[in-house]
Amino acid sequence: MSDLLVLAADPAAWVALVTLIAMEVVLGIDNLIFISILSNKLPEAQREKARKLGIGAALVMRLLLLSTVAMIVKLTAPVFTLLGHAFSWRDLILIAGGLFLVWKATKEIHHNVDPDPGPDMFDGRTASLGLTAAIGQILLLDIVFSIDSIITAVGMTEHVPIMIIAVLVSVAVMLVAANPLANFIHANPTIVMLALGFLLMIGTTLIAEGFGAHVPKGYIYAAMAFSALIEGLNMLSRRARHKREGKAG
Domain assignment of residue 199, yes or no: no
The stretch 196-200 carries a mean pLDDT of 79
Domain assignment of residue 202, yes or no: no
Domain assignment of residue 246, yes or no: no
> In degrees, to the nearest 5, what angle opens at C-alpha 62 toward C-alphas 71 and 58?
140
pLDDT band at 90 (very low <50, low <70, confident <90, very high): confident
Domain assignment of residue 30, yes or no: yes
The stretch 26-38 carries a mean pLDDT of 77
d(CA 9, CA 233): 46
Total count of domains within the chain: 1
What pLDDT, on the 0 to 100 scale, is given for residue 124?
41
Domain assignment of residue 212, yes or no: no
Q: How far is CA 158 from CA 1, 6, 138, 141, 163, in A?
A: 17, 14, 29, 26, 8
d(CA 59, CA 53): 10
Domain assignment of residue 213, yes or no: no
Backbone torsions φ then ψ of 42, nearest 5 degrees: -90, 165
What pLDDT, on the 0 to 100 scale, is given for residue 226?
83
Domain assignment of residue 55, yes or no: yes
109-134: per-residue pLDDT in tens?
Answer: 777 666 665 554 444 444 444 777 87
40-49: per-residue pLDDT in tens?
Answer: 888 888 888 8
For residue 85, pLDDT beyond 70: yes
Domain assignment of residue 247, yes or no: no
146: containing domain = 2-79+107-188
pLDDT band at 2 (very low <50, low <70, confident <90, very high): low
* pTM, 2 dp: 0.62
140-166: per-residue pLDDT in tens?
Answer: 877 777 777 777 676 666 677 777 888
From 20, 22, 35, 24, select the one nearest 142 (Cα to Cα): 35
For residue 170, pLDDT beyond 50: yes
For residue 91, pLDDT beyond 80: yes
